[in-house]
Structure 1
Amino acid sequence: MAYRAHTTQLYALVLGFIGWTLTAMALGLIQWRVWQVSHSDVISSGVAWVGLWRVCFNSHTLVTPAFMFMHCRSMGLTEAFTPPEVAAGQVLMLLSLVVGLCGNAGGVYAVRNIYFGLEKSTPIRLAFFTTGALCLLAAVMSLIPLLWNLSSVVTNQTISFPPEFMMPAAPESQHVGGGVMVGLVGTVLMILSGIIFCRYRSPERTTVRQQVHLDPPVQAEAASCPGKDNPAFESQEHL
C-alpha cells in the first residue's frame, strides 16, 4: 500500500509538469482567436491570428523580419485598443507559470522525501498540501483568461485595432484557436495534479508477526505424559 501511494504522487508530479508545460506553450501561441477576413492584397490567406502578445497574418506584400511571409504586430498591456481579456491573459498567464513552477518544485521535494524515506524528518503532509494548493492556484489563474477569451469568441467580440495593424474592424467570422485548447488541457492536468497532492495521506505501515501457540491442555498433557521406552527397540539392542 505504501508503494502504491508513493506511485500515485509520482503520477501527480508528472501530470503537473505536463500541465505546466502546456500552459507555457499556450502563452506563446498566436492562435487564440482565429479571424476569417475578406481576401485582400494585404492579408493573402484571408485568415488572421490574434494571440495574447501578437496579431499575425500571412502576406506577400508585408513581411515581418524572422517571419517568412508573415506580418506580425505586438499588443502591449497598456495599449488603449488591447481588450481586457487579452490584458488579463498577459498578466494571469505569466503569474500562472510562476506559481505552477513553484508547485512543481514543491512536488519534486515532497516526492523525493517519501522515496528516500525522509517523511518522518520532514512535514511531508504539509509539503504535499502546499504543492497541491499552488497547482490549483496556477490552474485558476490560467483558467480565467482562457474562459474569458473563449467567451469573447463565442459572442463574436471585435477588437478596434489601430490602422498600422492593417486589420479589419470586424471579422466575417471567428473561432477558437489551438492556443486556448492547449491551455485548457494544461489547466485540467494541473487541477488533477493539485487534487491528488492535496489528498495525500501517509500510508500506514503494519508488520505481520506470526506466532505459533499450543493450546494450554495440549501443553499440560505433553508435560504430564513423558515418552515411554519401546521394548522391541531395547530387545534389539541386547542382540
Structure 2
Amino acid sequence: MLIACFTFQLVGFSLGSLGWILSCITTRHAEWRLWLVDNTTIFSSGIAHVGIWKICFPPNLKTSSDYGIVCCHEFNFNENFFPVEMFLAQILLLIATFLGALGIFFTFLPPWHFYMGTIRKTQAICLFLAGGILYIIAGLCVLVPVSWNFYSVANNSSIPFPPSFHLPSFPVAQRIGIAIPLGISSGLMLLISGIIFLYIRSPVTSIRVNPMNPRS
C-alpha cells in the first residue's frame, strides 16, 4: 500500500509538471490557427500562423523573390480586434500557468518534508488536496480556451485584423496548429494529476526519518 501511494504521487507529480510545461509552451506558441490566405498587396499566397500572443505572416513577401522572409508581430494584451476566444485564452492561460506552478509547489512539499524531517499526515493530505485542486482548476483554464479556439477554427471564424496587417478577415481555409493539441494534452494531464492527488491517501507519517540513516 505504501509503495502504491508513493507511485501514484510520483505519477501525479510528473503529469502535473509536464502538463504545466506544456501549458507554458502552448501560451507562447504562434501556431494556434493556421490561415491559408490568397495574394494580398504585400504577401503572396501562403499560411499565416496566428497565436494568442503573436502572429507570423506568410513567408512570401512580394518584394523578395529569392528568399522566404518570416515576419512576426507580438500582440498586446486584449488587442481591440481580438475575438472573445483569443482574449479569454490570454487571461485563462496566464491563470493556468500561475495555478499550475502553485500546484507543483504544494505537491512537492510533503515528500520533501518527509525526507528532511517530520510532517503530520493531516498536513501532507491538506497539501496534496490543495495541489490537486489547483491542478484541476489549471487544467480547466487550459481546456476551455483551447476547445473554444478549436471550435472557431472548425467553423472558419473570422478575425478582423487591422489594415496594417494586410490580411483578410476570413481566410481561404484554416486549420488547427500544433498549439491546440499541445493545449489539450496539457489540460488533460493537469486534470488527471489533480484527480490523483484528490483521491490518494498520503503514506506520510509523523515518524522522523534520518535521510542519512533510515534505520535509526
- The TM-score with structure 2 as length reference comes to 0.85
Q: Distance in 2 between matches of 1:171 and 1:19?
A: 32
Q: Distance in 1 between matches of 2:63 and 2:30?
A: 18
Q: Deviations over 1:88-108 (max 9, x none)?
A: 111110111001000001111
- The TM-score with structure 1 as length reference comes to 0.77
Q: Distance in 2 between matches of 1:186 and 1:39?
A: 36
User: Cα 1:198–1:62, aligned 2, differ >3 Å: closer, same or farther?
Assistant: farther
Q: Distance in 2 between matches of 1:170 and 1:127?
A: 48
Is the Cα–Cα contact under 8 Å of residues 35 and 173 in structure 2 kept in the other structure? yes
Deviation at 1:10, TM superposition (A): 1.2
Q: Tell me the secondary structure at the aligned position of residue 70 of structure 1.
A: coil
RMSD over equivalenced CA pairs, Å: 2.3
Partner of 2:85: 85
* 1:180 matched to 2:186: no
Is the Cα–Cα contact under 8 Å of residues 146 and 184 in structure 1 kept in the other structure? yes
Amino acid at match of 2:140: V
Q: Distance in 2 between matches of 1:10 and 1:32?
A: 31
* 1:162 matched to 2:177: no
**For this pair of structures, how many residues does the alignment match?**
201
Q: Distance in 2 between matches of 1:190 and 1:135?
A: 5
Deviation at 1:155, TM superposition (A): 1.2
Q: Which 5+ residue runs of structure 1 have no aligned equivalent?
A: 206-239
Is the Cα–Cα contact under 8 Å of residues 82 and 159 in structure 1 kept in the other structure? yes
Q: Distance in 1 between matches of 2:107 and 2:204?
A: 21
Deviation at 1:25, TM superposition (A): 0.4
**Which structure's CA Rg is the greater one?**
1
Identity of aligned residues (%): 32
Q: Distance in 1 between matches of 2:202 and 2:121?
A: 13
Amino acid at match of 1:138: A
Q: Which 5+ residue runs of structure 2 have no aligned equivalent?
A: 206-216
Partner of 1:112: 112
